[in-house]
Amino acid sequence: MNLKSLPKIELHLHLDCSLSFDVVKQLRPGITQEQYKSDFIAPTNCSSLDEYLKCAQEPIALMQSKEQLEMVTLDLFQQLKKDHVIYAEIRFAPLQHCKKGLTAEEVVQAVDEATAKGINETGIEARIILCTLRHFTEEQSMQTVRLVEQFKGSRVTGFDIAADETLPIDNHIKAFEYADRNNIPCTAHAGEACGAESVRDVLQNFYPSRIGHGVRSLEDDTLMDHLKQQDIHLEVCPTSNVQTGIYDSVANHRVNEIYERGNSLSINTDGRTISNVSLNEEYSSLNKHFNWEPEHFLRVNHHAIDAAFCDEETKETLRKKIDSVYH
């Protein structure tokens, strides 16, 4: 079975965690393969989510100009093309890229324009999700969500909260209320470093239609039933979950349980560089450990399309592309 050639949807993908060695060499001339592995790729087994997230600092430092943001975005499109991804949602925190003079608006515009260029060059459809971070102030969260509204009509279509799940959510409730009032689609990282309670927390306060990771929802049967009833989608990232210590191996990941329960889920890389993984490799791993066949991947890709932050016309086009190959 040639999993590589199957068309794929990827919803959970961090731009600043997906810099290939090729683009890093251009941005940081002289870097060796060994330095790249040390500075950009997280350990196979991190001691914590925080250790994993620290590996995003080096790439962020290389993404502080319009030219750098364009290079990194176009590089990601080439990675997606190798994986036969036909639709991707690329997320990043724009306020992280204002350290050398760019305004947040200029950052978003640069990535949006580069995304349009990537779509044109590769034929891969894509949208952008803007992230606030748990350690941000209320003002920073509001600034980020207003950028989503400001760029309505572009490829910017969603809002997310990422980073250290152990931090309280209080600073971000106002931003998610703004998103709800303005019909901005939302996802939220939860159920990764913290347990099922963190998922309940974001559901009750942020009202997202998707959860980033969310795998620890399995610790609470009632919560899993609620997610299914409300059709709340789980963006599952198997390799990343092993790195951050939720599971000791992909073989012991509980993604198959989520699938068997009938919950909506997708398969994603999270960060292609930081996790040192491609979507093809994620698919191969699930095939190896859980005997997932094309029909399994067809189902999760349909789930992903249904949950995607794009218009219905785009979704229907994606469904036809998926069905023509899988059937």
What residues act catalytically? 192
Q: What sign for the dihedral angle of Cα 46, 283, 40, 159? A: negative
Instruction: Determine whether 123 is exposed, middle or buried from the number of CB atoms within 10 Å of its CB (0-12, 13-18, 19+).
Output: exposed
Complete DSSP assignment for 185-238: -BEEEESSSS-HHHHHHHHHHH--SEEEE-GGGGG-HHHHHHHHHTT-EEEE-H
Question: What per-residue string of b and e applies to 49-79 under the rule 16 or more CB within 10 Å gives b?
Answer: beebbebbebbbbbbbbbebbbbbbbbbbeb
CA distances from 48 to 109, 192, 198, 245, 275 (A): 33, 11, 16, 7, 14
